[in-house]
Amino acid sequence: MRTETPSAGALESVRIDGRVDGVLAPLERGLHYGDGLFETIACLGGRPRFLERHLERLAYGCERLGIGFPGHEALGREILAVAGEAERAVVKVLLTRGAAAARGYAVAGSERPTRVTLRYRWEAEDPALARDGVRVRMAELRLGENPHLAGLKHLNRLEQVEARREWSDPGIAEALMFSSSGRLVSGVMSNVFLVQAERLRTPRLDRCGVAGIMRAAVLRAAAQLGIAAEEAALDAGDLAQAREIFLTSALIGVRPVRELAGRAVAPGPVTRALQQALAPLLAGAADA
């Protein structure tokens, strides 16, 4: 049976604050409280894809959480250096508030941000997944709603960990998640789009969820193609009425859903048009 779940990839390199011999402090707030942010960057030919978009989102998250940002130029150089050591890789950057000055949740204000940069092997995936689509289930776990953190790619991922524990079938690529109030939010590891009456729709992320880099790229591409698109409050009824469904992430690009909770869903013309429009960006290191 074809495995549709992406391989995690082997860890190839770790730098802490830019040093290969760096040490993570035992009082690190990212470890104790998830007090930080992260980015997962696809790298091809030794170059990171959508680098500026990732840096912009990280800087925005730091501003929202009051974490010191090391700067686009400095962080960009480090990511380029790590990415340049491999032909095909995933670079993950974690940026935390730093080591705690004392026990407890309170921020002292004297913390120095900690930066962890990792590189993973990124195996080429079966092209049939983008062509034929993947099987998706519905997650039982509901996401908590917290507008203050909505949209951010923060380190608090325990909800996603528990949702991913719900299935072990390698033929299932993803699970769609709803919020505590019943709103469709995203996949466990991706954003989701629906096509209803020729209109492209994606969940509004004002209560929870991550505003993905590819999600934004798809919305820009739709505008350029003249495809009507909107961010909206969606629910299970919208999923049932969708003529097309596809998933997006910085790693998978645009991936059609061919089966949702046992219901067949055929990849359609809107999905195909967006895949074609974004193919040049995904084929190399570029910004959308």
Domain layout of the chain by residue ranges: 11-121, 128-282
Nearest to 121 by CA among 95, 155, 173, 83: 83
Q: Is 91 in contact with 250 (CB distance < 8 Å)?
A: no
**Predicted pLDDT of residue 3:** 43
Rounded Cα–Cα distance for residues 192 and 201 (Å): 9
Residue 174: what residue type? Answer: E
Q: What is the DSSP letter of 226?
A: T
**Predicted pLDDT of residue 5:** 44
The number of beta carbons lying within 10 Å of the beta carbon of residue 150 is 17
Indicate left, alpha or beta for 262 from its phi (over 0: left) and psi (-120 to 50: alpha).
left
Rounded Cα–Cα distance for residues 177 and 284 (Å): 31
**Predicted pLDDT of residue 2:** 42
Instruction: Give mean pLDDT in consecutive 10-residue pieces for the chain, a chain of 288 residues.
Output: 54 95 95 97 95 97 97 96 95 97 92 97 93 98 98 97 98 98 98 95 98 97 98 97 97 97 96 97 70
Q: Is 111 in contact with 98 (CB distance < 8 Å)?
A: yes
- CATH, domain range 11-121: 3.30.470.10
**Predicted pLDDT of residue 160:** 98
Rounded Cα–Cα distance for residues 54 and 32 (Å): 25
The number of beta carbons lying within 10 Å of the beta carbon of residue 17 is 16
Rounded Cα–Cα distance for residues 193 and 181 (Å): 19
Q: Is 223 in contact with 229 (CB distance < 8 Å)?
A: yes
Contacts of 5 (CB under 8 A, 6+ apart): 170, 172, 173
The number of beta carbons lying within 10 Å of the beta carbon of residue 62 is 19
Nearest to 85 by CA among 59, 37, 117: 117
Half-sphere exposure of 95 (CA within 13 A, CB side): 26
What is this structure's pTM?
0.94
Rounded Cα–Cα distance for residues 231 and 176 (Å): 17
CATH class, domain 128-282, is: alpha beta
Rounded Cα–Cα distance for residues 242 and 77 (Å): 43
Structure-block tokens of residue 236: 């299970």
Q: Is 83 in contact with 91 (CB distance < 8 Å)?
A: yes
Residues in a beta bridge with 16: 19, 116
